[in-house]
Structures are given as C-alpha cells and as structure tokens.
Amino acid sequence: MGGPVSEYQYYEFVALDQALTAKQQGELRAVSSRGRISSSSFVNDYQWGDLKADPAKWMERYFDAHLYLANWGTRRIMLRLPKAALAPETAEAFCVGESAGCWATRTHVILDLHSEDEDGDDEWWDEEGRLAAIVPARAELVGGDRRLLYLAWLLCVQNRELDDDEPEPPVPAGLAKLSGPLQALADFLRLDPDLLDAAATASRPLAEKKPSAAELRRWVAGLAVADKDAVLLRVLRGDAGLLQSELLRQFHGVTEESPAGEGRTAGDLLAAAEERWAARQQQKREREAAERQRREEAAAAAREQRLDDLARNLVRAWDQVDELIATKRPKDYDTAVTLLLDLQALAVREGEIFEFAEQMTQLRERHARKPSLIDRFDRARLD
C-alpha cells in the first residue's frame, strides 16, 4: 500500500512598486528560513507545514501581488493598488462576495479573489510562472481597464453568492477578447467560459488606444506645471512603478462601459450560461454522431472493397484459411477466423450462405481435434 498523500501549498508574493529593503527582507526571513527571498519577491512551498504569517498582513505591509494554491483545490490571488489608482468605492462595487472581496488601508486598496474546487487540484505542480502571467492585469486596471473588476463580480455570480435579482454592474468593453493577463487570471480562478461568453454579449469591442507621439506631446504640453513636477518627484523617489499606467488612464479615461446592467441580473447571466452550455453539449453530441457515422461509412466501404477482393480470389482465400490453421499458432487461428468472417459476409451478400455453411461444416470436421480453434469458431458464430 502507498503512503499517505501529502498536502501541498504554494505561496508567491511580489513587490512591484517599491523594492523590499534589507530590513524588510530580514523580517520575512525571520518568518521563513526556507523561503526564496529577494528584494522583489517571496516564494515558498509546503508539503507538511504552512506559512507562519497572514498573507493579508504581508500584502498590507510588503507586497503588491500574491498567488496561493493548494492541492485540495484552493486558489487565491491578491492585488494591491494605490488608492490614487483605484478608489475603494469602485472596488467595493464589484467585489461583493466571498469569492471576491476587498479592503482599504491608509494608502492602498487590496483585492482578494478566491476559487475553490472540492475535487482537488491536479495542476498544483505547475505553479511557478502563473503569477508573472497574471500581474500585468494590475497595470491594466490602473490604466482604466475595468475588466478585472468585472471578472471579480462574475466570479461571485458563478459561485452563487448573489441573489438572482442582483443587477449587473457596468459592463466594460473588451470582454469578448481578454488580454493575456486577464485570460490567465480567468483560467486560474476557474471562471466558467460560458458565463464569460454570456456576459460578453453586452460588451462593446475594445477600441485601439495607442496614442501617437504628436497626441502625447500635445497632452503633456497641456498638463499643469504642478502635475509635471509631481510626476518628476515620483520618478526621483523611485515611486514610478505604476506611473505609466496612471498617466495613460488620465490620457484615455476609463475603458468604455455599457450602462449598468442594461436590465440584466445575476440570474439572467447564469441562465444564459446554462443555455450556452446546453447548446455546446448538443453541438458536441451532433459532431460525435456525425464522426461516428463517417467512421462507420468508411469502415463499411472498406469492408465492401475487401469483400470485392475476396470475391475475385475466393479459392485462394479458402486455401489461406487452411494454411493459417496448419501453423497451429493461436495468432494465426485468430487471423483465420477474421478471414472466415469476411467469407461469411461475402456469402450473405452473394446469397451463397448455404454453400458457406457446408464448407464450414467440412472445416469443423477436419479440425475437430483442435479444441481452441473450434472454440474460436463457436465464439465467432461461424457455422
């Protein structure tokens, strides 16, 4: 018997806007002697123990992004953003359940997203690199792209944490074609593709927003001197991690949104997702049925061709049966039975089944003392 299956937990934290000081790294080392610690990250995994710290407190004090997963099915993502980049009330409008929550510190807003799967997680060994794939979604949010927040709300809908009559919040543009980081986030949180597709029907296409150099020059020229001074001070202080995204948000504004809800509710989205799932299953069944029919028709055509070939070489086929049986090898017995089944099918097709039956009787008589061969004849119903 095998030994007990160990638990597995993976923790990853990254500091994006400001590097960890030597003192802060020392504080992390005091908690974990085995963790991989640098000026920008903490990574550790546990098979029997656990992190002796509260990840939420670490997010408040040290880090801007966190990924956690466990092989019993828990997944968690936390993102920290400056209040200047994301107002707490904006986050609260979307993070409305146990699967998606948020809270504010004096300077930041922290988003906390969860996914649970009671069947466990068979992907836990492929954890490294996942957070790096998701982290750019944070800059997209700072830049005015509200899709991450909408996905958080949709996660609450999926997990039945809202009443069916809960109205839908404003729908951001671009849900039908998520960015790579947002798709990585949706996949990590196991967001139902049918639910996302249902939501995307009310989402406008995302407009291309890459400004020209001339447009940027005109916009910068129009900024107040005090604003430009503030930007330069942030760069000099090393506080420019999200600066580009913040400035682009000021340039573009918030991603275009459809009006709140457009009359849709959480229940409407769940029903639409169910319809999409049912339609997809029906299409799958139809494709499988068509493929089965294609294979059956191909097999039937191949058999007809084989029978035509037999009809042209009937005497040789019966001779081949005798030759195969004469070897007394089980594998050749099986080949002989296969050939006899084709001869039987040919006899049925040509209306010569009585002639076939007579030859089979003679064959059985000649080999009556070969019980394994006779048993094969009986199981194949070769009479």
Three-class DSSP labels, the chain: CCCCCCCCEEEEEECCCCCCCHHHHHHHHHHCCCCEECCCEEEEEECCCCCCCCHHHHHHHCCCEEEEEECCCCEEEEEEEECCCCCHHHHHHHCCCCCEEEEECCCEEEEEEEECCCCCCCCHHHCCCHHHHHCHHHHHHHCCCCHHHHHHHHHHHHCCCCCCCCECCCEECCCCCCCHHHHHHHHHCCCCHHHHHHHHCCCCCCCCCCCCHHHHHHHHHCCCHHHHHHHHHHHHCCCCCCHHHHHHHHHHCCCCEECCHHHCEHHHHHHHHHHHHHHHHHHHHHHHHHHHHHHHHHHHHHHHHHHHHHHHCHHHHHHHHHHHHHCCCHHHHHHHHHHHHHHHHHHHHHCCHHHHHHHHHHHHHHCCCCHHHHHHHHHCCCC
Q: What percent of the chain clears pLDDT 70, i.e. is strictly above it?
A: 84
Q: What is the mean pLDDT of residues 262-290?
A: 93
CA atoms within 13 A on the CB side of 18: 17
**pLDDT of 221:** 72
Mean pLDDT confidence for 252-279: 78
Residue 241 binned pLDDT confidence (cut-offs 50, 70, 90): low
Pick from 275, 85, 263, 254: nearest CA to 172: 254
Confidence at residue 1, expressed as pLDDT on a 0 to 100 scale: 41
pLDDT of residue 123: 59
Using the predicted structure, report yes or no on whether residue 237 has a pLDDT greater than 80.
no
Mean pLDDT of 63-90: 95
Question: What's the CA gap between 30 and 342, in Å, rounded?
Answer: 78
* Average pLDDT for the chain: 88
Are 100 and 189 in contact by the 8 Å Cβ rule? The answer is: no
Quick check: 135 pLDDT over 50? yes
Question: Average pLDDT for residues 176-195, to the nearest whole number?
Answer: 96
| pLDDT-wise least confident of 21-35, 184-198, 234-248 | 234-248
pLDDT mean over 239-253: 58
What is the separation of C-alpha 141 from the centre of its chain, rounded to a whole number of angstroms? 22
What pLDDT was estimated at residue 380? 94
Query: What is the structure's pLDDT at 206?
Result: 82
Average pLDDT over residues 63-68: 97
In angstroms, the Cα distances linking 275 to 191, 198, 279, 282 are: 17, 9, 6, 10
Name the maximum alpha-carbon separation found in the chain. Answer: 109
Q: Lowest mean pLDDT: which of 123-127, 332-336, 337-341, 361-365?
A: 123-127
Structure tokens given for 109: 């807003």
Provide the CB-side half-sphere exposure for 124 (13 A, CA): 23
Shortest CA distance to 333 belongs to which of 342, 323, 343, 345? 323
Whether pLDDT at 260 is above 80 = no
Q: What is the pLDDT at residue 262?
A: 58
* Global pTM exceeds 0.75: no
Contact 256, 150 (CB under 8 A): no
Q: pLDDT value at position 2?
A: 44
pLDDT at 222: 72
Residue 115 token pair: 């996914």
When pLDDT is averaged across residues 122-126 and rounded to a whole number, the result is 58
Residue 138 has pLDDT above 90, yes or no: yes
Q: What is the pLDDT of residue 120?
A: 75
| Cα–Cα distance, 246 to 3 (Å, whole number) | 53
Where is pLDDT greater, at 23 or 242? 23
Q: Which residue has the higher pLDDT, 383 or 5?
A: 383
* Domain residue limits, the chain: 9-206+255-280, 313-379
* Sign (positive or negative) of CA dihedral 95, 101, 103, 109: negative
* Residue 379: band (very low, low, confident or very high) from pLDDT cuts 50, 70, 90: very high
Confidence at 3, pLDDT banded by 50, 70, 90: very low
* Rounded Cα distance, 203 and 18, in Å: 35
* pLDDT at residue 268, rounded to an integer: 96
Which whole number is the average pLDDT over 8-32?
95
* pLDDT surpassing 70 at residue 247: no
How far apart are alpha carbons 110 and 112 in whole angstroms?
6
